Structure formats: C-alpha cells, structure tokens
A and B are shown apart, each in its own frame.
Chain A
Amino acid sequence: MLELINKFFNKDNGSKEEAKARLKFLLVHDQVDLTPSQIESMKTEIMEVIARYVEVDKSGADFRLQKEAGGVALVSNIPVSRVTARAV
C-alpha cells in the first residue's frame, strides 16, 4: 500500500536512483582500477576453482564489487547445485 502511495506521489521514481546506482558503480571502479575484461576473467577463474569442488550453477552466479566502510569488497553469490564433493 505504502508503495502505491509513494508511486502516486512520484517518490523514488525520479532520476536520483539512477544517479545513485551509477555513482556507486563508478566509485568502486575508480578505486579498483581493473578493466572490465580483467574483472570478467577473474570471475571465470574463481568459478573454475569452485567448480572443482562442488557443482555450481554458472548461469545463476553473481559477482559484485561494492564499496564498504573498510574499502572495496568482492561480494559473490554462487548457487551450488550439488553439494557432494567431487573427486579432485
């Protein structure tokens, strides 16, 4: 309901959310100084390592660099489709 009222009053509908999202992305990437292709290959390699131990759903994996109090954090969420350990 509150959401509807907010929508009616146009709040959070304006361009500021876009500004905020772009800024957050910018600030992280200003600090990290990695090219998009370097970040992409880092993701691929991390996935490869994890896939050696458990079966992962590559399409559902999510990697994000985000700014936190102490600096930049790599936050990832990787769905495991089967937990049984594989033979290494």
Chain B
Amino acid sequence: MSECIVVTSGKGGVGKTTTSANLGVALAQKGNKVVVVDADIGLRNLDVILGLENRIVYDLVHVVEGECRLKQALIKDKRNPNLFLLPAAQTRDKNAINPEQMRELVAQLKEDHDFVIVDCPAGIEQGFRNSIAGADRAIVVTTPEVSAIRDADRIIGLVEAAELPEPRLVINRFRAKMVERGDMMNKDDIMEILAIPLVGIVPDHEEVIVSANKGTPAAYNEDSVVGEAYRRIARRLCGEPEVPYIALNKGGFWSNVKRMMGLSAGGAA
C-alpha cells in the first residue's frame, strides 16, 4: 500500500528539504519506489539538494495545468532508479495550484509509487495547505531551539486540525556536546513540550553542507552519521520495530566518565 508523507516544520531553515531528500534516498535504497515532490513553488530547492537541477524540463505546475503528462515531469535520480523528483515551478507562486489539484496529483503519484514525500514550504499559508492536502501523515522537523519548537507546536495543531493522524517528530541539528553541558534542550525536553512520537534525531554535522554542495544527499554515503540517522528514520517509517538510536555522545574523557556515572543527559539518534 502506498503512502504520502508531508515533511513540514512551520519555521524555515530547519531542514525540511534536507530531510525530504534524505528520506527519499533512504526509502528508495530499501527497495521502495519513491517520488519526492517539491511543493515550494517559487522557491524550489529540492532539485539542488538532489543534484538534479540540470534535468528539469517540466514541473508540478505544468502537470497541474495539463501542459505535460505526469510521467514527462518526473526526473529519475541518476544514482537510484527507484527515486524520482517532481520539481516545483520556479517562476510561479503558491497560488498557482490549490489543495484539490494537489490531492489529485498525489493520488495519481500513489498509483505508481510506494512513497510520495512532499517537501512543504515554510509558513502556514497556501503552500502549507496545498502540501498537506493529499498527505496520509506528516513528519514535523524541528531543531532544539525556542523559535523552531514554537513553530513546530503551531504546525502540529494545524496538522491535527486538518484531521491527519498524529504527526511524528524529527529533531534536526542535534548537538550532543551542547546537550551535555546543558546548553541545548535534549530529546526528552523537546518531547515533553511537543508531545508527539519521535521518529528520529539527526546530528548537526558539516557533512550536510558538503552534501548540499555536491548535490548528493548524505544518505548515499555509507559512512555518514547523518546518512545513518536518515536510514534509521526510513526503517522506522517502514514499520520496522525498535530501530535503535545512534549513540551521539562520543565525547571526551569527562563525558565518558559522566555517562558511566549516569549523570549525562547526552543524546542518541
């Protein structure tokens, strides 16, 4: 049975597009047929993160307006034949499509794919309403910061008001060292506030920027800790039970001593 998952956050810049791309890759590597849909019309970026920007001929708005067939607009990933991108239009705006059209589009995509991942734009307006229109469930991405968590709380309320099932949380840019010294909220702090189930923690790592520079999501790199975090999220999304979290606090001598003494609040992804 195929499923449409919308990746949303409210606040911009917390890692929605990175998460969408990496989950697309990780789910496709597990043998699923996956399409990632860039719903950020006017500010497309998913094509760049996936390194597919030079292959775009048609986009989502062309499909909706009937200027091309859906298959013509889908771009096959150069590294994985199971992964496809439906790019957003760059020269139009959010009002170029409506939720009803999005629902139809997603229904069509679900016929041919196991997973449809929708990368939602920041904000709570038309772009958000379009993005959640065809979704079966939502992933809310946040970072361990006051502003991002506040917006995540708002988005969770809106997802629930739209009668989608309870969303699942991805905590991005997690810094174990800051958590250990009490300068960053840990997993339990965030979950206490947002009160939705966790689906993964992604460490803050330079790899993410290098991957974006190259247009190769970290999930393609077997040795990447960020890639591994996303691979584990993909396993959880596929219903694999009790996927362990990665130990993130490979700290120095004192953090190891603290951990042995059970004093450390450090994290795992």
A residues near B (Cβ < 8 Å) are 5-6, 9-17, 19-20, 22-24, 26-27, 30, 67, 69
Q: In the bound complex, do residue B185 and residue A20 qualify as a contact, i.e. CB atoms below 8 Å apart?
A: yes
Min C-beta distance of A40 to chain B, whole Å: 23
Q: In the bound complex, do residue B150 and residue A23 qualify as a contact, i.e. CB atoms below 8 Å apart?
A: yes
Could you tell me the distance between the alpha carbons of A67 and B192 in the complex, rounded to whole angstroms? Answer: 10
Task: Indicate which residue in B146, B182, B195 contacts A14 across the interface (CB closer than 8 Å).
Answer: B182
Could you tell me the distance between the alpha carbons of A15 and B155 in the complex, rounded to whole angstroms? Answer: 25
Min C-beta distance of A31 to chain B, whole Å: 8
Q: In the bound complex, do residue B146 and residue A15 qualify as a contact, i.e. CB atoms below 8 Å apart?
A: no
Task: Indicate which residue in A10, A24, A26, A30 contacts B182 across the interface (CB closer than 8 Å).
Answer: A10
Could you tell me the distance between the alpha carbons of A15 and B185 in the complex, rounded to whole angstroms? Answer: 9
Min C-beta distance of A42 to chain B, whole Å: 23
Nearest residue in A to B257 (C-beta to C-beta)? A9
- Is B183 engaged at the interface, CB distance under 8 Å to the other chain? yes
B residues near A (Cβ < 8 Å) are 145-146, 149-150, 153-154, 178-186, 189, 193, 195, 254, 258, 261, 263-265
With contact pairs A10-B182, A11-B265, A15-B183 given, residues A30 and B150 touching in the complex (Cβ less than 8 Å): yes
Nearest residue in A to B262 (C-beta to C-beta)? A2
Could you tell me the distance between the alpha carbons of A9 and B185 in the complex, rounded to whole angstroms? Answer: 17
Task: Indicate which residue in A11, A12, A16, A27 contacts B150 across the interface (CB closer than 8 Å).
Answer: A27
A-B contact pairs, 30 of them (CB 8 A): A5-B261, A10-B181, A11-B181, A11-B258, A11-B263, A11-B265, A12-B182, A13-B182, A14-B181, A14-B182, A14-B183, A14-B184, A15-B183, A16-B179, A16-B185, A16-B186, A16-B189, A19-B146, A20-B185, A20-B189, A20-B193, A22-B146, A23-B149, A23-B150, A23-B193, A24-B193, A26-B146, A27-B153, A67-B193, A69-B195
Secondary structure class of chain A's binding surface, majority of residues:
helix
Q: Please, which residues of chain A bring their CB within 8 A of the CB of B265?
A: 11
Q: Please, which residues of chain B bring their CB within 8 A of the CB of A16?
A: 179, 182-186, 189
Q: In the bound complex, do residue A23 and residue B146 qualify as a contact, i.e. CB atoms below 8 Å apart?
A: yes
Could you tell me the distance between the alpha carbons of A20 and B144 in the complex, rounded to whole angstroms? Answer: 10
Could you tell me the distance between the alpha carbons of A15 and B181 in the complex, rounded to whole angstroms? Answer: 9
Could you tell me the distance between the alpha carbons of A5 and B234 in the complex, rounded to whole angstroms? Answer: 39
User: Ordered nearest first, which 6 A-B pairs have the shortest CB separation?
Assistant: A14-B182, A14-B183, A16-B185, A15-B183, A19-B146, A27-B153
Nearest residue in B to A68 (C-beta to C-beta)? B195
Q: Pick the most buried of A5, A11, A17, A23: most chain B CB atoms within 10 A of its CB.
A: A23
Nearest residue in B to A5 (C-beta to C-beta)? B263
Nearest residue in A to B153 (C-beta to C-beta)? A27
Nearest residue in B to A13 (C-beta to C-beta)? B182
Q: In the bound complex, do residue B189 and residue A15 qualify as a contact, i.e. CB atoms below 8 Å apart?
A: no
Min C-beta distance of A83 to chain B, whole Å: 37
Nearest residue in B to A14 (C-beta to C-beta)? B182
Q: In the bound complex, do residue B263 and residue A6 qualify as a contact, i.e. CB atoms below 8 Å apart?
A: yes
Q: In the bound complex, do residue B153 and residue A30 qualify as a contact, i.e. CB atoms below 8 Å apart?
A: yes
Q: Please, which residues of chain A bring their CB within 8 A of the CB of B195?
A: 69
Q: Pick the most buried of B182, B264, B265: most chain A CB atoms within 10 A of its CB.
A: B182
Nearest residue in B to A20 (C-beta to C-beta)? B189
Could you tell me the distance between the alpha carbons of A74 and B150 in the complex, rounded to whole angstroms? Answer: 20
Could you tell me the distance between the alpha carbons of A78 and B145 in the complex, rounded to whole angstroms? Answer: 34
Q: Please, which residues of chain B bring their CB within 8 A of the CB of A26?
A: 146, 150
